[in-house]
Amino acid sequence: MFRMSTPAPRRSLKRFLAFVRPYRGLLAGAIAFGVVRYLVPLALPWSVKIVVDDLLPRSGARAHASLHLLMGGLCALYGVYAVASYWRSYLSGRAGHRVIFDLRQALYRHVQRMSLSFFDRQKIGAVVSRMTTDIASAQNFVGAAFVATAMDLALLAVIVVLLCAMNVTLALVSLSVLPFYAAISYHLQKGIRAKSRTIHHQLQEISGELHEQFAGIATIQAFTQEASEARQFRAQSEAYFDTVMGSVRLQSIALGSTGFLTALGPILVLWFGVTEVWSGRLTVGTLMAFYGYLGMLYQPIQRLTELNLILANSLAAMDRIFEVFDTVPEVRERPGAIALGRARGALRFEDVTFQYTGREPVLERVNLTIPAGTTAALVGPSGAGKSTLVRLLPRYYDVTGGRITLDGVDIRDLTLASLRDQVALVSQEPILFSGTIEENLRYGKPDASDAELRAAARAAFAEPFIEQLPQGYQTEIGERGVRLSGGQKQRLAIARAFLKDAPILLLDEPTSALDAESEDLVKEALNRLLEGRTALIIAHRLSTIEHADIVIVLDGGQIVEQGRHEELLKERGGLYRRYAEHQLASLLTDT
């Protein structure tokens, strides 16, 4: 979970309101139209009273005229009602969705800037859920809190005044139920609120878990762990089901008890009202109007108690959203950071130490010089820290001791954008996004011309296969599109790096065998890409290692040997020699 302590709800609310502020004009409009919309129906019971008490007993021409006037007026009033309804709903919807739009953009920008260490700690599903479900639930706040509450309170006040104006005793009788209604609602809502928090939390866990499981489905199948994973999923789902049912039970109790109290008011009014009519203190028309208003009284009260729940959910969602905002990226730009032009590419690691948060050091006192334009091959056993070392260069993580310099400048003194502009990355499993081939290539240089795009594809030996695809550069790849082979993906990633034309290349060589032809093409493309650049390669192939200007042997987070391939081979008893003999034996015979 997020490491932040939960901020006080009121603080989250204040911060949320800052997002609402730009749209206060829209909200004020929505409230104004809302008040009109809610007050218009109040004319109906009063008209019933006039009709029953004044018009029905008389039936002359004047009564006819009054009736037509009254009904015509009511029709006109409901015309206003229709227009006000439209504007209320439109303006409040627009304000709510605008707020959410801004909030989601801000959150997205924030999460995108987070260091990789944030994503190490978070389940991606939980982050996604904050950006979708939580934000949507915070949105309810705008409509519910601002627009509905203002209208409901106005409506309640007017109805209570009308009831008292008609008959104070009867008004008191009908309102006597309200304190019970409010007390029961309050207690039940409190229970429901607690449950809804647990429900949300459990759902987030489930979604994170599912995300992880389906992303790793191949491993689950390979280890035939389906049954055990399914059992775990079932246990999680059962716990979730139990909490949901607890909440359903409370909601059902709420429905039953408030339903009973809602009916009790009108019964009391009829009961007491008829005796008042019999004794001549109340007219029949007033009793009917009373009855009509009473029906209207319970609606806003019910909405106000539901509001309690909506607000509780929204506030909890706001807390979760602002928790993310409060997590600061660990890798940050220093004030006054330098924007570097094109670097020459001279790299130095000076006494570099690194540990992942809460872990043992992974790299210890690493000293390394890679002159501009040279190729360094990193070799070493699994877990030696090769990938970690490479990740420090674009500052995915910051060193915990020592420093890394680029052309003599500490990379932490450079702006993040200008540092990352110097680096092109080709990973073992190239990451391609859903979209067309062209879109994927343009990732390297968004404003590249078509000619540049083609030149890069050609240099990476990718053009021939792209042209054979049904829509050439416009072919969709990824989840919804064409599936590419490992070698083809590699060549696209290399083309992307060509297009980026960065002075430094970070490369994690694929370990899995590509078919022979693909392998040759990838090798050839890489050799071209390496020309004139500084390269740091996590090398798995002997041919790469042989051609490297310097081979760095990493073991247990330390550089144990470095030099050219031939020199290292001569080191009797050296790790590299043993490594080459054992690890590369098969490759040596292949090549």
Interaction site with ligand ATP (CB under 6 A): 120, 356, 359, 362, 380, 382-388
Nearest-approach distance from CB 349 to ligand ATP, in angstroms: 14
Residue 537 φ then ψ, to 5°? -120, 125
Nearest-approach distance from CB 384 to ligand ATP, in angstroms: 4
Considering only CA atoms, which of 137, 108, 140, 142 is closest in space to residue 17? 142
Instruction: Tell me how crowded residue 204 is: count the other CB atoms within 10 A of its CB.
Output: 21
Question: Which of residues 134 and 364 has its CB atom nearest to ligand ATP in the complex?
Answer: 364
Nearest-approach distance from CB 506 to ligand ATP, in angstroms: 12
Taking the C-alpha atoms of residue 125 and residue 215, their distance in angstroms, rounded to an integer, is: 11
Nearest-approach distance from CB 338 to ligand ATP, in angstroms: 28
Question: Which of residues 302 and 387 has its CB atom nearest to ligand ATP in the complex?
Answer: 387
Instruction: Please give, one letter per residue, the 3-state secondary structure of 84-120.
Output: HHHHHHHHHHHHHHHHHHHHHHHHHHHHHHCCHHHHH
Report DSSP state, residue 2: -
Nearest-approach distance from CB 97 to ligand ATP, in angstroms: 37
Q: Alpha carbon 581 to chain centroid distance?
A: 49
Question: Which of residues 117 and 302 has its CB atom nearest to ligand ATP in the complex?
Answer: 117
C-alpha distances (whole Å) from 271 to each of 160, 259, 283 are 20, 19, 15
Question: Which of residues 51 and 506 has its CB atom nearest to ligand ATP in the complex?
Answer: 506
Taking the C-alpha atoms of residue 477 and residue 35, their distance in angstroms, rounded to an integer, is: 53
353: three-class secondary structure by DSSP:
strand
Considering only CA atoms, which of 526, 538, 516 is closest in space to residue 390? 538
Question: Which of residues 423 and 539 has its CB atom nearest to ligand ATP in the complex?
Answer: 539
Taking the C-alpha atoms of residue 158 and residue 40, their distance in angstroms, rounded to an integer, is: 11
Taking the C-alpha atoms of residue 184 and residue 532, their distance in angstroms, rounded to an integer, is: 77
Considering only CA atoms, which of 525, 522, 543, 526 is closest in space to residue 535? 526
Question: Which of residues 375 and 388 has its CB atom nearest to ligand ATP in the complex?
Answer: 388
Nearest-approach distance from CB 538 to ligand ATP, in angstroms: 6
11: three-class secondary structure by DSSP:
helix
Question: Which of residues 387 and 475 has its CB atom nearest to ligand ATP in the complex?
Answer: 387
Nearest-approach distance from CB 542 to ligand ATP, in angstroms: 16
Taking the C-alpha atoms of residue 291 and residue 71, their distance in angstroms, rounded to an integer, is: 20
Give burial (CB, 10 Å; 0-12/13-18/19+) of 171.
buried
Nearest-approach distance from CB 556 to ligand ATP, in angstroms: 9
Question: Which of residues 16 and 349 has its CB atom nearest to ligand ATP in the complex?
Answer: 349
Question: Which of residues 20 and 548 has its CB atom nearest to ligand ATP in the complex?
Answer: 548
Considering only CA atoms, which of 583, 588, 549, 584 is closest in space to residue 566? 549
Question: Which of residues 486 and 503 has its CB atom nearest to ligand ATP in the complex?
Answer: 486
Nearest-approach distance from CB 426 to ligand ATP, in angstroms: 15
C-alpha distances (whole Å) from 264 to each of 170, 173, 177, 268, 363 are 14, 11, 7, 6, 74
Angle between helices 61-113 and 24-39 in degrees, nearest 10: 150
Nearest-approach distance from CB 569 to ligand ATP, in angstroms: 21
Question: Which of residues 19 and 349 has its CB atom nearest to ligand ATP in the complex?
Answer: 349
Nearest-approach distance from CB 404 to ligand ATP, in angstroms: 15
Note every long-range contact of 580-588, with CB atoms under 8 Å and residues 24 or more positions apart, other chains counting: 580/542, 584/542, 584/545, 587/541, 587/542, 588/542
